[in-house]
C-alpha cells in the first residue's frame, strides 16, 4: 500500500514538472513579447513624449521593458528549478513571479490612470508647450515633435491654426514672415507658412490635440492590456509552483 502511494505521488510530481516546464516555455515567449512592446513604445512611439507634461507614459514603457527582461530570466530559472527539483530555486522562482506580477499590475494601473487623465493634461499643457517652446533654444525635441505631429496627423496648432498667433517664435520676427510653421502646410516647402489659406495649410482639418490624444490612448490600451494580461497568466504559474513545491516536500519526507 505504501509503495502504491509513493508511486502515485511520483507520477503527480512528474505531471506537475512537465506542466510547469510547458508553462515556462510559454512564459519566456510572453516575456519576449512584453519586452518587445516596451521597446516598440520607446523606440517608435515616443516622438511625442516631449509634448507631455507627465512622465507616466514613458514610465509604463520602461516598466514593461524591465518586466520583460525579468520574465525571460525567470522562465529559464523556472525550467532549471523544475527539472533539478531544487526547492530553494522554486522559492526564488516564486518570489520573482510575484515581483513581475506586481510590476505588470503597476504598469497596467499607471496606463489606465493616465488614460483617464490624458485629456485634461493635453488641454492644460499642449498649447502652452507649442507656443512657448517651439523653435526656442534648448527645446529642439519639442520643435521636432511638433513638426512631426502636424505633418503626420494633418493638423495645425493645438486647437486650430489660430493658436500660432500667440507663438513666441512667430511674434519674435525670427519666423521670416510666417504666420504658422511650415509643418502646417499640406506641401512643405521653405517659407510656405507665410500663407495660412485653407488651400495651403491644414486649417479646416482642426487642431492636433484630439488626434494626439487618440494616438496615445491607443498605445496606452496596448500597454495596459499586455501588463494586466501577462499578470493574470502568472497567477497560474504561481499556483503550479506552489503545487510542485508541496509535492517535492512531501516526497522528501
pLDDT in tens, 137-181: 988 989 999 999 999 999 999 999 999 999 999 988 788 889 999
Give the H/E segment covering residue 10.
helix 2-44
Using DSSP's 3-state secondary structure scheme, residue 186 falls into coil
pLDDT of residue 219: 80
Most confident residue range from 118-127, 188-197, 204-213: 188-197
Most confident residue range from 71-80, 96-105, 151-160, 218-227: 151-160
Residue, of 106 and 249, whose pLDDT is higher: 106
CA distance 154 to 133: 21
Q: Over pLDDT 70: what percentage of the chain?
A: 91
Give the model's confidence band at 243: pLDDT under 50 very low, under 70 low, under 90 confident, else very high.
confident
CA distance 122 to 76: 42
The mean pLDDT value for 126-131 works out to: 90
Residue, of 78 and 12, whose pLDDT is higher: 78
Average pLDDT over the chain, rounded to an integer: 81
**pLDDT tens digits along 186-201:** 999 999 999 988 889 9
CA distance 108 to 220: 9
CA distance 121 to 109: 18
**Lowest-pLDDT choice from 10-19, 20-29, 91-100:** 10-19
pLDDT of residue 226: 77
Crossing angle for the helix pair 2-44 and 209-252, nearest 10 degrees?
Answer: 160
Phi-psi map region of 135: left, alpha, beta (phi>0 left; psi -120 to 50 alpha): left
pLDDT of residue 167: 92
CA distance 134 to 232: 43
Q: Please say whether the dihedral angle defined by the alpha carbons of residues 130, 134, 137 and 139, taken in this order, is positive or negative.
A: positive
Residue 111 has pLDDT above 70, yes or no: yes
Q: Which residue has the cell 510590476?
A: 103
Burial per residue of 181-201, b for 16 or more beta-carbon CB atoms within 10 angstroms, e otherwise: bbbbbeeeeeebbeebeeebb
pTM given for the model:
0.72
The cell for 18 is 512537465
Amino acid at each position: 500500500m505504501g509503495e502504491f502511494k509513493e508511486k502515485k505521488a511520483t507520477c503527480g510530481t512528474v505531471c506537475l514538472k512537465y506542466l510547469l516546464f510547458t508553462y515556462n516555455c510559454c512564459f519566456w515567449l510572453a516575456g519576449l513579447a512584453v519586452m518587445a512592446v516596451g521597446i516598440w513604445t520607446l523606440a517608435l512611439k515616443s516622438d511625442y513624449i516631449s509634448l507631455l507634461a507627465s512622465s507616466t507614459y514613458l514610465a509604463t514603457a520602461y516598466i514593461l521593458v524591465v518586466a520583460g527582461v525579468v520574465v525571460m530570466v525567470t522562465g529559464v530559472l523556472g525550467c532549471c528549478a523544475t527539472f533539478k527539483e531544487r526547492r530553494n530555486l522554486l522559492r526564488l522562482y516564486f518570489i520573482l513571479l510575484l515581483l513581475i506580477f506586481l510590476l505588470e499590475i503597476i504598469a497596467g494601473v499607471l496606463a489606465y490612470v493616465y488614460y483617464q487623465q490624458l485629456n485634461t493634461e493635453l488641454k492644460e499643457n499642449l498649447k502652452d508647450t507649442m507656443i512657448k517652446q517651439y523653435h526656442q533654444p534648448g527645446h529642439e525635441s519639442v520643435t521636432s515633435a511638433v513638426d512631426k505631429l502636424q505633418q503626420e496627423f494633418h493638423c495645425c496648432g493645438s486647437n486650430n491654426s489660430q493658436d500660432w498667433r500667440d507663438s513666441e517664435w512667430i511674434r519674435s520676427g525670427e519666423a521670416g514672415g510666417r504666420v504658422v510653421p511650415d509643418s502646417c502646410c499640406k506641401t512643405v516647402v521653405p517659407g510656405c507658412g507665410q500663407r495660412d489659406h485653407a488651400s495651403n495649410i491644414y486649417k479646416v482639418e482642426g487642431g492636433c490635440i484630439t488626434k494626439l490624444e487618440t494616438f496615445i490612448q491607443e498605445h496606452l490600451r496596448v500597454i495596459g492590456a499586455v501588463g494586466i494580461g501577462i499578470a493574470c497568466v502568472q497567477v497560474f504559474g504561481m499556483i503550479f509552483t506552489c503545487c510542485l513545491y508541496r509535492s517535492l516536500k512531501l516526497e522528501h519526507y
